[in-house]
């Protein structure tokens, strides 16, 4: 598939190898060059189409599920679900193996929600058997939350197996699919997910401005009176969109126009499976190239997703991540610092409007930067061996 970024006037943007915001297509950027009123019939139709397409991406039917758009970043959407769907006397179980699981815990605690935590190492996936045991032992738990792709490391968590355990015990299940939705197939019915959250500026390749929640209608309608926030009231937002297609408060019109174009591009690429194939190829190309340069991944390959990869800092006296980052930036490539708590790592994303040529360009820049820093990892590895 050809990329239209070369059509940009004057200068090429830096290529973003990050978990979001991402490099976007020229057509997505161009879609924002229009002003539409929030009550304009054309805008309302675009919102309706976006909601329909999102439900379909979750492999669900509008008879049973709905998409609710929420102003703000992905964290706003997560807080909307937590603050709106846990009963006032309920208890939330959070499975944690990274920074974004810990953020869910923090949100719940700030909201005054009774919270239980199952914690795992950042290179370990949660065990569904542990969930089963805890739900048997603690009938007070009403809701369970987990991150699908924990971008602290890039690990993919077993949301289907966890969902089966939650379903057997009749609890409500929430999945933070921020960095996976649109590129990792997710069947909300098969995984027994009641609420899934993602953001416009992730794998669908839109721009920042709003998050979205795909909810099981029956579960959502049962939450009346539970919301702990006015602006993040998920049921009220849903009812407003259903009544007249409008947001309760000012919508991010330009971000929605860009997202609508991004959804069209996703469909043209072959949907989730087509995008997954490109991202997977990006990942495999990157990892092979980084290994050849002497870098080592943090995760075991069996647990590694194709969204983002964490690499250990190399054991070389001349390596300094701050300088490494700045030099790559000067070459037009933006990577991401690490978030792993027990190891020195950095991260490189494989998502956004990037292709094999972009990945190979990054690898060439890494090779050049290592030479500038006088860091010869291949020679170091050979001498150690």
pLDDT in tens, 252-280: 999 999 999 999 999 999 999 999 999 99
Q: What is the percent of the chain with per-residue pLDDT over 90, rounded to a whole number?
A: 93
CA dihedral 53, 274, 125, 198 (to 10 degrees): -30
Residue 133 in tokens: 């045991």
Round to the nearest angstrom and report the end-to-end CA distance of the chain.
42
Nearest residue to 125 (alpha-carbon basis) of 108, 146, 99, 144? 146
> At which residue do the structure tokens 């309920």 appear?
90
Q: pTM of this prediction?
A: 0.93
pLDDT (mean) for 12-26: 94
Would you say residue 173 has pLDDT above 90?
A: yes
245 to 8, 49, 160, 198, 233: CA distances (angstroms)? 34, 11, 32, 20, 16
Cα 385 from Cα 375, distance rounded (Å): 17
Domains and CATH numbers, the chain: 4-22+271-384 (3.90.1150.10), 26-267 (3.40.640.10)
Instruction: Catalogue the E-assigned strands of the chain.
Output: 15-16, 65-71, 91-96, 114-119, 143-147, 149-150, 155-156, 172-176, 195-199, 210-216, 308-312, 333-334, 336-337, 345-349
pLDDT (mean) for 366-380: 89
Confidence band, pLDDT 50/70/90 cuts, at residue 248: very high
Nearest residue to 152 (alpha-carbon basis) of 361, 290, 349, 382? 349
Q: What is the pLDDT of residues 72-108, one digit of tens each?
A: 999 999 999 999 999 999 999 999 999 999 999 999 9
| Ramachandran assignment for 36, one of left (phi > 0), alpha (psi -120 to 50 degrees), beta (any other) | beta
Phi, psi of 249 (to 5 degrees): -125, 170
How high is the pLDDT of residue 7? 44
**H/E element, 324:** helix 321-330
Q: Degrees (nearest 5) of the Cα angle 135, 162, 147?
A: 110
How high is the pLDDT of residue 380? 56
How high is the pLDDT of residue 69? 98
> At which residue do the structure tokens 């792709």 appear?
149
Confidence band, pLDDT 50/70/90 cuts, at residue 11: low
């Amino acid at each position: 598939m050809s990329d239209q970024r070369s059509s940009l006037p004057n200068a090429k943007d830096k290529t973003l190898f990050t978990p979001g915001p991402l490099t976007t297509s020229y057509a997505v950027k161009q879609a924002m060059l229009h002003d539409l009123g929030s009550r304009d019939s054309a805008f309302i139709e675009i919102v309706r189409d976006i909601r329909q397409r999102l439900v379909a991406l979750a492999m669900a039917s509008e008879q049973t599920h709905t998409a609710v758009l929420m102003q703000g970043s992905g964290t706003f959407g997560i807080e909307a679900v937590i603050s709106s769907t846990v009963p006032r006397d309920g208890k939330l179980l959070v499975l944690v193996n990274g920074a974004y699981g810990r953020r869910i815990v923090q949100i719940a605690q700030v909201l005054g929600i009774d919270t239980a935590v199952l914690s795992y190492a950042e290179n370990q996936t949660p065990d569904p058997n542990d969930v089963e045991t805890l739900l048997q032992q603690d009938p007070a738990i009403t809701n369970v939350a987990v991150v699908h792709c924990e971008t602290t490391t890039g690990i993919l968590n077993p949301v289907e197996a966890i969902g089966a355990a939650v379903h057997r015990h009749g609890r409500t299940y929430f999945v933070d699919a921020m960095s996976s939705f649109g590129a990792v197939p997710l069947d909300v019915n098969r995984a027994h997910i009641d609420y899934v959250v993602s953001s416009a500026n992730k794998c669908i390749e839109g721009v920042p401005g709003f998050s979205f929640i795909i909810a099981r209608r029956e579960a959502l309608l049962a939450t009346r009176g539970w919301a702990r926030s006015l602006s993040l009231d998920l049921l009220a937002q849903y009812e407003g969109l259903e009544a007249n297609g409008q947001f309760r408060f000012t919508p991010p019109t330009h971000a929605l126009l860009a997202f609508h174009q991004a959804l069209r591009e996703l469909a043209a690429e072959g949907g989730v499976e087509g995008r997954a194939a490109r991202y997977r190829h990006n990942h495999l190309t990157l990892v092979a190239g980084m290994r050849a340069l002497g870098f080592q991944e943090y995760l075991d390959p069996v647990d590694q997703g194709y969204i983002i990869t964490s690499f250990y800092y190399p054991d070389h006296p001349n390596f300094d991540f701050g300088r490494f980052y700045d030099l790559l930036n000067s070459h037009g490539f933006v990577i991401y610092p690490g978030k792993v708590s027990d190891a020195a790592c950095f991260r490189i994303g494989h998502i956004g409007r990037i292709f094999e040529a972009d990945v190979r360009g990054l690898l060439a820049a890494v090779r050049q930067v290592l030479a500038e820093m006088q860091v010869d990892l291949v020679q170091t590895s050979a001498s150690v061996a």
